[in-house]
Structure 1
Amino acid sequence: MSLRVMEVTRTVAGGYCGKLLRDAGAEVTRTSQDEERSPFWHYLHSGKATGRAAEADVLIEDVGMDLDTVEAGVTVVSLSAFGRTGPWAGRPADEFTLQAWCGSMGSRGLDAPVCAGGRLGEYAAGAYAAIAALTSGPCARVDVSMLEAMLLTQNTFGYLFPQLGAPGPSRSVELPSVEPAKDGYIGFCTVTAQQFQSFLLMIGRPDWMDDAELATAAGRRRRRTEFLQAVHAWTTQRTVAEILELAEALRIPAAPVTSPASVLEVEHFRDCFVPGHNGIRWPRMPYRPTGKAGFVDVRGVRVVDMTAFWAGPSATHLLAALGADVIKVESPSRPDPMRFTTARPGAENWWEFGPIFHGTNTGKRGIALDLPAGRDLLRRLVEVSDVLVENFTPRVLEQLDLTPGRLLAWNPDLIIVRMPAFGLNGPWRDKPGFAQTMEQVSSLAWITGEPDLPPMTPKASDPIAGLHAAFATLVALNGPKGVVVEAPMIEAILNVAAEAIIDTAATGVVRSRTSQGIYPCAGTDQWLAVSAQSEEQLVGLGLGDRPDRDTTVERLLAHGIPAAPVLTPAEAARNPQLEHRRFLQRLTHPIAGPLDLPGLPYPRGRPWLSRPAPTLGQHNDEILCDLLGQDLTEPRARGLIGERPRS
């Protein structure tokens, strides 16, 4: 029987939660009948019934319902800005001011902070709520906080940086990123040293390849003018298509920067959009479906985690928090590159201090196994597992001779979840891509930034893609075994970008970057974000030039106006509301020491986190010997396993 869902919602977050469940086969009924039914409304609510369901297994609400009136046997998932309880419950807020509270706005921009375009926080909260609906069990009461969802998806774990002795993330714009071409904008992403070296070679500056300062993001920021002059001297003489051809040959992640109109013209996206209301095309569901929406318990489910960077590890981190036995597989020769990102310079075992690695790998066990030489050890692990998750480009598994056919031959009941950047088919099948690439080509970058400046990447797509892959995994666990689930990053992000795309198609007016309600305050680099209806409203409250930030925030909130201080990522996770909800949990890492780490954006009776992130190869003996019964004498002698990086 299909999961029966009653939806009482007004926000995008609540509507998207219901959409995810409806697309997965749930019977969703909405109570509201008097809404303005825009094309975007139809995107969120197509396929849902209207009225009142006779019976329901799950209630989704974001209107502050009196839960005492809800039948005891119904699982209730509530969504709100800060949570239904605590000192900030009921405080006025919206997507814009929550970006300031969570540190997202404070991480982006140069002279002034910049808000991310679109409603990334609402989509993230809605996806978490859909996951909670499937995994909290019958009769549960779930209280999802949008702020906490945004701290997990838009903050880059800046609150872990000072705990790990790393320099805190500063407000910045990536270099290179969105740059002008002869006929538009081209987007780059150089997250590895090799990609940046290849980029310098491409733009004709091999003389910079040994420049230690330019090799770092901070160094490029210091020499921003010099660096961009050289980049633009090259890019503006070439078309987007010409640059893309060269970048692809050098394996540099690059993409055309699309608008909400031109994104529909990208050849690779031909099958990603489907006919919707009145012939308007909108994004299809962001994974290839198997299974159905239903209550699922992942405790005891064993997951082979062959993911790296952020999107894949965030999906398996969520499964680990929900109780799955997640075993992270790395290589001593090629560990997860996120271990090396912003790690503590000069420290012994410095690769164990990466903040984003800690944020996305808590709750997991880890082995370090060289592939393909150690494939027989991987085979034995796959044989006793339920799920395998990977986020390589499709050609990587083929090169390792780990195709789905081989994996299913080892374990016919295995669920294989694949998270390639651009999917398993199409002209961009083997194109590398990261969050920045997704945002550049999906139109999210186009609507982020100041009106008179180039587009800017929001830097929030990795964990949002991970959320969708985790949801797809839960749905698959309710279906037939021995399947491949395709959850491409780009399709999750196209869904998140849907509002601007659909509105542009409906009105013919291309949404772009707009002026933002961010105001300088007294002090050094102090800013206020406010969602006032007009400048006159602010003047009427007596707000003069460069007011006191925190006093002004409290004054605006007292008048019911959403406002927030623009916090840095490091500041954002310390406030009385998060302490009340116990958002952070202390765990002791064997090398990094005590750390306050985030769980999921809704509290439960027991902690979310069972263990800190694994050190490299920490559980080789525990898993390969104790679980699989493997004598490790020969594998160690052959260098098939290890506990330290080899390069």
Structure 2
Amino acid sequence: MTSPLSGIRVLEIGDRIATAYCGKLLRDAGADVVMVEPPAGHRLRRYRPAGVPPSAGDSPFFSFLSGGKRSISSPTVPPELVDSADIVILGSTPAEAADLGLDVDEIACRTSVITVSNFGWSGPWIDVPATEFTLQAWCGSTGSRGEPERPPIAVGGDLGEFIAGSYAAFFALAAHRGGGPFDMSVLEAMTTSMQVFSWLRKELMLLEVLGRSTEVPSVERAKDGYVGISMATGQQWQDFCAMVECPDLADVPELRFQVGRWEQRDLIRARTADFFATHTVAEIVELAALFRIPMTAIGNGETLSSMDHFIERESFLSHPSGFRAPRAPWRMSATPPLPPALPPALGDTDSPWTPRESRAERTGLPLDGVRIVDLTAFWAGPTATHLLGMLGADVVKIESVQRPDGMRFAGGFREDVERWWEYSWVFHGVNSGKRSITLDLGSEEGRALFGRMVAEADVVVENFTPRVMENFGLSYDELRGFNEQIIEVRMPGFGLDGPWRDRVGFAMTMEQLAGLAWLTGYPDGLPTAPRGACDPLAGVHAAFLTLAALEHRRRTGQGQLVELPMIDVVLNASALQVIERDVAGVLLTRRGNRGHEFAVQNVYACAGDDQWIAVSVRDNDDWHALKAVLRQPVWAHDLIYAEDTADLIDGHLADWCKDQPRDETVSAFLAAGIPAAPVVQPPDVIDNAALQARGFFQTLDHPLCGPLPYPRPPVTGHFVNSAAPLLGQDNAQILGSSLGLTAQDLARLEDDKVIGSWPLGL
């Protein structure tokens, strides 16, 4: 078996996790990836998280991200190397690129380029300093999380970098198909992934979205540990109430939705505390599986690799560098990922490639002419098809009146409108640009019409639990009967096999299980889920793999089955925990906002009501700049910036900030070159100057909701061409005009509930 990207030459330039993970994804799919490193080596060669002693040799995290790549050591990028590459991934600002001897406009004429930077290469913030921590504050993620009486809390780990890296890999392949060059903003990638389109929520639900919170229930203390809970539907809440023996709570209308449960959090926690305290984690998870409620043990670096599901599926492999690490998060029936490999020695390659042929010119969007049948629901799957549609694919979303996309109902209820399910802000955020039909796949006629659509399609994407497609009689073998070259992308929560195959799970379930929740939260408090960001993380991976499978089919004419379990994606994003437990025997855990990379980092209260600033002091240069901003205080004169002085610096900085105005303080820090950001509430990101200047919000009229600011993908350009569709709005066009059904046929199908535009039971 070959790899889908065999023979594609990728030049990886940059020292951030996002570019390293982008290169890893491309390498694992078969590309030949060459890193250009400075003479001192890649920054991540020396990376060890707080609490882990430094050691000789390359860091294990670098080995995980860079295994199988090659290395060239040079202070600048040789022009002949660029000319011989198929794809250039450039993680830099324009000024940094110039220092490397690169002119991106000139390079883009010769090869496929994607730039990756904090704020993009256009707009007012090109050179503004930032870290993942301050970007979380800018994008509204931090401001929405935590207890109201305590500071807002950022997501632990490097989730934003992994999100950005997966987007970069997707756009790298899109550029290879003839698109681009693509100018990608990490802030935009995080804004569309690490908060739930709250500017749309404010617009559509006609309410203010202020303050921080956690889900209720979310992570609870059980008899022998922590259990994670994630519910997205009213039915799951009712089943939960029955399970914890509080059936009366199910009868309270306000508690069907998270907003109401948050307001009644003290009551719910008091009523359910005895149940959790008297049952073990294993008992609770087993019982929840019977009720089909998403619940899981809270995993961490010590427990993950010994869980039975991961053992049976070989989710962790022995890395040749001497530790266990997650395998590549996908399985492809014709083109499996490459196995783990050693990282390159610094400068192990001189001239890796011979000159390549000139790139063929192509106009239009990279996926023009590609037809996608979209069976996905909620957030992860629709993110994948949304990205594919934004780049030109014709995406037909299929729901049914029996079971519409559950995200239509997860956004709350408006009593002032008739079709309230058309107002869900998350549905709008990831379904613009698609067409919509309804088909009851449980009916013979529905399956027949579906088969006719598959016969004319390139890709089918679905994120049901594994049993659903087989129960419909629509396994991959059946799909190949309709179309021998079809690509099917399946996105089960836990995989197509293994002990947990049929468990229900949402993104927060995976975040709780895979260790991201373990690293997020107050040091003296409960683990806290990042709040669903792994839905879009999995979705972008699925879009990337769709492009990889299309590339393989372009070369061979062969379709295939692609399996992308969300849990495997999240295990990769939290890989550091298992790796460091193996290598150093250290269990990484919650450090609040302090993080694991910089000695001094936190959110600090400023003057005024609930005004917070996020600050990262990265190194000695930032420390000297900070002392200048603070006007060289006596306490700091002889103080050396280090781990053992971090608490002292942190305390003095907190004392100073509490009397300062927030926005002026942010400006002072940024002017001094210190990464800082206001901790903004999610709806307020719509006022962000960089996002506005780069056209991130693209306004379109929706037939019921009016003009709405839809997000585009995190690269510059105009990609949003139609609003999110009404349920079944394209039945007549697609089933009638395209498939040839008459008006009488459509009327009969609607009478029989095979199609329709109104959910049953409402």
Classify the TM-score, shorter chain: over 0.9
Alpha-carbon shift at residue 546 of structure 1 (Å): 3.9
TM-aligned CA distance change 1:567 to 1:630, over 3 Å? same
The answer for unaligned runs of 5 or more in structure 2 is 1-5, 46-57, 73-77, 338-358, 594-601, 631-655
1:152 aligns with 2:152: no
Q: Deviations over 1:624-644 (max 9, x none)?
A: 011111222321232211111
* Structure 2 partner of 1:65: 97
Q: Deviations over 1:324-382 (max 9, x none)?
A: 00000001121111112224511121111110000000110000122211222212211
Q: Secondary structure at the match of 2:686?
A: coil
1:387 aligns with 2:498: no
1:506 aligns with 2:612: no
Q: Secondary structure at the match of 1:479?
A: helix
Amino acid at match of 2:609: T
2:377 to 266, 291, 308: 308
Say how many residue pairs are matched: 645
* Structure 1 partner of 2:640: none
Measured in 2, the distance between the counterparts of 1:586 and 1:226 equals 41
* Structure 1 partner of 2:308: 267
TM-aligned CA distance change 1:415 to 1:536, over 3 Å? closer
- Retained in 2: the 8 A contact 1:404–1:484? yes
1:278 to 316, 321, 325: 321
Measured in 1, the distance between the counterparts of 2:128 and 2:90 equals 17
1:616 aligns with 2:727: yes
Measured in 2, the distance between the counterparts of 1:130 and 1:469 equals 11
Measured in 1, the distance between the counterparts of 2:395 and 2:730 equals 12
- Retained in 1: the 8 A contact 2:170–2:541? no
Alpha-carbon shift at residue 578 of structure 1 (Å): 1.5
TM-aligned CA distance change 1:341 to 1:168, over 3 Å? farther
Measured in 2, the distance between the counterparts of 1:536 and 1:278 equals 35
TM-aligned CA distance change 1:515 to 1:254, over 3 Å? closer
Amino acid at match of 2:728: G
Amino acid at match of 2:753: G
Alpha-carbon shift at residue 155 of structure 1 (Å): 1.4
* Structure 2 partner of 1:474: 547
Once the two structures are overlaid, the 10-residue window that deviates more, 270-279 or 416-425, is: 270-279
Measured in 1, the distance between the counterparts of 2:699 and 2:418 equals 23
% same residue: 45
* Structure 2 partner of 1:56: 85
- Retained in 2: the 8 A contact 1:291–1:477? no
Measured in 2, the distance between the counterparts of 1:536 and 1:130 equals 34
Alpha-carbon shift at residue 61 of structure 1 (Å): 1.6
Alpha-carbon shift at residue 544 of structure 1 (Å): 4.2
* Structure 2 partner of 1:129: 168
Measured in 2, the distance between the counterparts of 1:252 and 1:292 equals 32
- Retained in 1: the 8 A contact 2:114–2:175? no
1:371 aligns with 2:392: no
Measured in 2, the distance between the counterparts of 1:561 and 1:544 equals 15
Amino acid at match of 1:65: A
* Structure 2 partner of 1:627: 738
Measured in 1, the distance between the counterparts of 2:628 and 2:270 equals 45
Q: Deviations over 1:206-231 (max 9, x none)?
A: 12221223333223222222211222
Q: Deviations over 1:93-149 (max 9, x none)?
A: 000000000000011111321100111111111111111111124584321100000
Alpha-carbon shift at residue 291 of structure 1 (Å): 5.3
Measured in 1, the distance between the counterparts of 2:448 and 2:276 equals 47
- Retained in 2: the 8 A contact 1:166–1:342? no
* Structure 2 partner of 1:226: 267
1:490 aligns with 2:573: no
* Structure 2 partner of 1:599: 712
1:103 aligns with 2:140: yes
Measured in 1, the distance between the counterparts of 2:193 and 2:318 equals 30
Amino acid at match of 1:620: N
Measured in 2, the distance between the counterparts of 1:544 and 1:307 equals 47
- Retained in 2: the 8 A contact 1:25–1:292? no
Amino acid at match of 1:449: G
The answer for unaligned runs of 5 or more in structure 1 is none
- Retained in 2: the 8 A contact 1:74–1:140? no
* Structure 1 partner of 2:350: none
- Retained in 2: the 8 A contact 1:309–1:336? yes
1:646 aligns with 2:760: yes
2:606 to 481, 496, 521: 521
Amino acid at match of 2:467: R
- Retained in 2: the 8 A contact 1:6–1:29? yes
* Structure 2 partner of 1:455: 527
Amino acid at match of 2:565: P
Measured in 2, the distance between the counterparts of 1:166 and 1:427 equals 44
- Retained in 1: the 8 A contact 2:153–2:592? no
* Structure 2 partner of 1:425: 497
- Retained in 2: the 8 A contact 1:292–1:479? no
TM-aligned CA distance change 1:77 to 1:339, over 3 Å? same
1:18 aligns with 2:23: yes
Measured in 1, the distance between the counterparts of 2:208 and 2:173 equals 36
2:203 to 163, 181, 184: 163
Measured in 1, the distance between the counterparts of 2:252 and 2:413 equals 21
Q: Secondary structure at the match of 1:359?
A: helix
Measured in 1, the distance between the counterparts of 2:223 and 2:286 equals 15
Q: Secondary structure at the match of 2:165?
A: helix
- Retained in 2: the 8 A contact 1:310–1:462? yes
Of structures 1 and 2, the larger Rg is shown by: 2
* Superposition TM-score, scaled by structure 2 size: 0.82
